[in-house]
Chain A
Amino acid sequence: MDAIERGKRLEEILAEKGMSMGLAYGSDDSQQSGEIVDREIKLDKTKRAEYLMDLYYQAFSSASVEFPYWYNRKFAECDGDVLEVRRAKALACAYAHSTPSIYPKDLLPGGKTDYLRGGFPMPWLTNSFYLAKEDELKSAAASGTTAIDEIAALGTGGGNVTKNQGKVVSLAGKFGIRAEDVPVLTKLAREWAGKSVEDLGLAYEKMMSDYEDKANIMKSVLVFCDSGYTIPQGREVASYYFPLEYGIDGMIKFCEAKKLEVAGYADGDGILGMKRLYFYEAACIALGGIQQFWLNYVKELRTVAEIEPDEAQKAEYLALADQMEWIAHNPPRNFREALHLTYLIHITVLNEDAISGYSPGRLGQVLYPYFEKDIADGTITEEEVIELLEVHRFKFSTIELFASTGISGGISGNTFNNLSVGGLDKDGAPCGNRLEWLFLHAGMTNQSPQPTLSVLYDERLPKDFLIKCVECTKTGVGYPAWMNNRVAMDFMMNQYGAEGMTVSEARAVAIGGCLETAPGCFMPLHFNGKTHYIPAGASQTTSVGVHFVSNPKMINMVLFNGVDPRTGIQVLPPHNRELTTYEEFWDQYKKYYAKTLESTVKAGNIQHDIWRDRNMSIVNSLFKPDCLKNGHHIGHMGTRYNATYNIESCGTINMVNSLVALKKLVYEDRKYALDDFRDAIKDNFGFYTAMESKAFSLGEQIKKPDVAKYDEIHGDCLKAPKHGNDEDYVKEILKEYEDWFCDLCNTYDSLYAKPMYACQISVALHAAVGMATFATPDGRLCNTAFADGSMSAYPGTDRKGPYALLSSGCCWDQSKSQNSQINMKFHPNAVRGFDGSKKLLTMISAFMNKGGFHVQFNIVDSKMLKEAQIHPESNRDLLVRVSGFTQYWVETGKPVQDEVIARTEFEGGI
């Protein structure tokens, strides 16, 4: 037995001292043992969805080189052309040459690649990974054997290809690539050496006066990652309006006419006026490529139908071919066509760039006119709609994002296609229509990660609609997340009022990505003899800028005079202050934070400027109001709202708890000096690191034998007041931080010369960034995950029940930030029955009335998660809410799994 095996877990140590980790609240602990309690609400999916989801479960994430090959080829061929046009030609060529794959029973043919769960690298965006790994990848490809046994053994870990197997090479720990494609990938990447957005961005970043600071900030993971070349688009809401209203042919016709209208005229804009011609030309070219992309499927459907022996399937293929052919040119005539068209636009936009969090938004309201007509005409039944929506979930769940290892891990491989329900219409009336109800229902029957659902809560939404949302939550699938529509609208007006947003237009808000509040507008759709004002996303990405400042690490920066104790790097200039008062400590924290943002905001602006110049959005721009009207793409602020860049933080609650511990133990009780904390943190309070123990929640951490000198200080840190218990002492510190942080973010300008804003979500970064962070003064240990979200309690530290936790987060004005985030975990018995549903809704309403922005739930017996960790092979379809997204348990990393298990489980009735 080695030393780690002999060591005691923190949970055991505390239990011996009569202290509890408090991982359960509200029961006599009887539910911590005994039988696993299943989720209360379970509904069956249709046979078709069952078949398709079975396919999904058998599919591995697969990387293709086809799209980048055609992109590179055309881009090279068009050397010398105007850049917008050159990029459009390259994109159009790549779309038009994408190979279609047709799968049986699929009612929505079309995919990002010819693999079911396919993605592809974009070396024009980032290529360093492939170049750095070239030898390694080629060596792995060369050593490949036809290891059938290995392949047959696949089945755990979901669809991730985490290691090289046979003639498949693992890329970024997630995707598999065929060995024979590896030389192609590296050749494609070499063509972008020194020319990719990443390479060019870096070259110009280095011209910053404080570039070294920025480099050290990234090396030490004080900030998680750059955003300009990683996932530069997404976290925004799609607009499907133009193709629904005009069809693709109509859009081309419009752009052709605009070319004639603007050619040769600056029209008062001496800088960008002339560029409109190039944008309209690029738009026509891209739309042509998109049409061909879709028409490839038409041809393939007809080919496949010829050899299909099953008559019913043959007829279905032919009908789908006709449907796709129609919507490749024309506005849809019915619900089936409209749904299919919106899906095709969605995947087409996703292929333009590395995009995560491109969200369908309020799709149930967008498609309602078609649904209403078809139901009234008797051309579709609700059962058929549910089947279609289940297939829609299947197709969205197959969407993959190809990103670097760090990004994939940071976002848990999720693509965050958020579909919002509820909210208000243009005139302020509550939404919540029958089609939205069916979207919820399909989310209950076909439980799957995508699209994730969010309800824009307004107290006037129909009661039965809200109860349906609660019932969906109670399936345990983790959606819908609950967002406060009022707070979202207030944020809209704060942030976009200067760009002309009105209250009416603020009502078009929806969630893009995890829970990024994104602006929209209402567009007049003419259908069935009526004008319907449908919501549409009307901004560019709402979540790029500074990707995740580690708030707990900033505490350690202050403690260690600007040095990261993990790496030993002098990250920030030494402050050389004595820090004799709490006020001095807090002042230095703010100074270091501002210094960090100064460097990273500038670097981000340079990267994104290179992006908009070299890799500008053509396709996403086509669909977004008001790019077509203005003749400007997103990078030239063609969209209606452009003040969309943010500063993201993570670990807020560990930071707040750390400030509380220091204030109380050092500055008020004077029991310890800051040096005592420095020693304890450097020695991880006498514990092995989580990397050594391979467990990532606090209670599982293992104490080193014979190291007792930190026991008292660690015990005091853990006993210090903690967020989540509605205590004024903690709330005052949280409020002071939030008021300062949100105002600070507004003082930075994006490259569009618009004020940035705070974004407070954790995605899966609370685990990834936690792993790169030493112990912190709140008693959290080295490498362990931070508290998730931004207002969630650190696991086990909220001991006064759910209302106390929710109230704790409402001490500040949440409309000053793009979002806040609370995740809660309830035992199924705590909300059982209709009475339980009503109580859960009452609790949510109380939280929203108090000004909370967001809450979401895992309704699950923690024993089920522990069992799934031991037997992942029997839990392929188990879904959990991680942070702002739902993911398969088996596709999440162990640090996240440990953190979800450790979250406080509310077991008693509410």
Chain B
Amino acid sequence: MNKHSDCKNFVQFDVFKGFCRKNGGFVLIDTEICPAFTEKTKCRNCSHFCDVNEEGIGTCKGLESEYWAYENMDAKTCEGYEAK
């Protein structure tokens, strides 16, 4: 299930909440998302991320050498990211 922190408009603030650049103000991460939700670049949305287990940990094949990765990681700074 998507969370606010999975949205492109969300700015990380602390483990409970963040800023919403779309609607302004704080939003609590674990509350219901709004219709303006837009997927942000996270490993889970990358075509190189596969074999994910029940803990959200999978394999990244997008960089120099294969390694494990986690689905929730922000991939904004990853040079290997390619959207699914």
Asked if residues A307 and B21 are in contact (CB atoms below 8 Å), the reply is yes
Asked if residues B14 and A117 are in contact (CB atoms below 8 Å), the reply is yes
A747 at the interface (CB under 8 A from B): no
Q: Determine the distance from Cα of A66 to Cα of B31 in the docked complex, in whole angstroms.
A: 23
With A99-B76, A151-B28, A166-B30 already in contact, the answer to whether A73 and B15 are too (CB < 8 A) is no
Residue of B nearest to A104 (CB): B19
- Which of these, A77, A180, A304, contacts B64 with CB under 8 Å? A77
Q: How many residues of B contact A (CB 8 A)?
A: 28
Interface of A is mostly: mixed
Asked if residues B13 and A69 are in contact (CB atoms below 8 Å), the reply is no
Of residues 55 to 84 in B, which have CB atoms within 8 Å of A's CB atoms?
55-57, 64-65, 67-70, 72-74, 76-78
Asked if residues A60 and B21 are in contact (CB atoms below 8 Å), the reply is no
Q: Whole-angstrom distance from the CB of A140 to the nearest CB of chain B?
A: 13
Asked if residues B14 and A167 are in contact (CB atoms below 8 Å), the reply is no
Q: Determine the distance from Cα of A99 to Cα of B28 in the docked complex, in whole angstroms.
A: 20
Residues of A within 8 A of B14 (CB): 59-62, 115-118, 176
Asked if residues A76 and B15 are in contact (CB atoms below 8 Å), the reply is no
With A77-B64, A151-B28, A183-B56 already in contact, the answer to whether A66 and B74 are too (CB < 8 A) is yes
A591 at the interface (CB under 8 A from B): no
B46 at the interface (CB under 8 A from A): no
Asked if residues B11 and A102 are in contact (CB atoms below 8 Å), the reply is yes
Asked if residues A103 and B26 are in contact (CB atoms below 8 Å), the reply is no
With A73-B67, A184-B57 already in contact, the answer to whether A168 and B16 are too (CB < 8 A) is yes
Asked if residues A66 and B73 are in contact (CB atoms below 8 Å), the reply is yes
Q: Whole-angstrom distance from the CB of B52 to the nearest CB of chain A?
A: 12
Q: How many residues of A contact B (CB 8 A)?
A: 46
- Which of these, B13, B15, B55, B65, contacts A178 with CB under 8 Å? B15
With A69-B70, A180-B56, A187-B57 already in contact, the answer to whether A151 and B76 are too (CB < 8 A) is no
Q: Determine the distance from Cα of A296 to Cα of B78 in the docked complex, in whole angstroms.
A: 11
Q: Determine the distance from Cα of A17 to Cα of B78 in the docked complex, in whole angstroms.
A: 72
Residues of B within 8 A of A60 (CB): 14-16
A177 at the interface (CB under 8 A from B): yes
Q: Whole-angstrom distance from the CB of A42 to the nearest CB of chain B?
A: 29
Residue of B nearest to A95 (CB): B77
Residues of B within 8 A of A101 (CB): 11-13
Asked if residues B74 and A177 are in contact (CB atoms below 8 Å), the reply is no
Asked if residues B15 and A183 are in contact (CB atoms below 8 Å), the reply is no
In the A-B complex, the 4 residue pairs with the closest CB atoms: A183-B55, A176-B15, A114-B12, A62-B15
B-side residues, CB < 8 A to A, are 11-16, 19, 21, 26, 28-31, 55-57, 64-65, 67-70, 72-74, 76-78
12 extra interchain contacts, Cβ-Cβ under 8 A, other than A115-B14, A167-B29?
A: A66-B74, A99-B74, A101-B12, A103-B11, A103-B13, A114-B74, A115-B13, A146-B31, A166-B30, A176-B14, A183-B55, A296-B77
25 A-B pairs with CB atoms under 8 Å apart are A58-B26, A62-B14, A66-B73, A69-B73, A96-B77, A97-B77, A97-B78, A99-B12, A99-B74, A101-B12, A115-B14, A146-B30, A148-B31, A154-B16, A166-B16, A166-B30, A176-B14, A178-B15, A180-B56, A180-B72, A183-B56, A184-B56, A184-B70, A184-B72, A187-B57
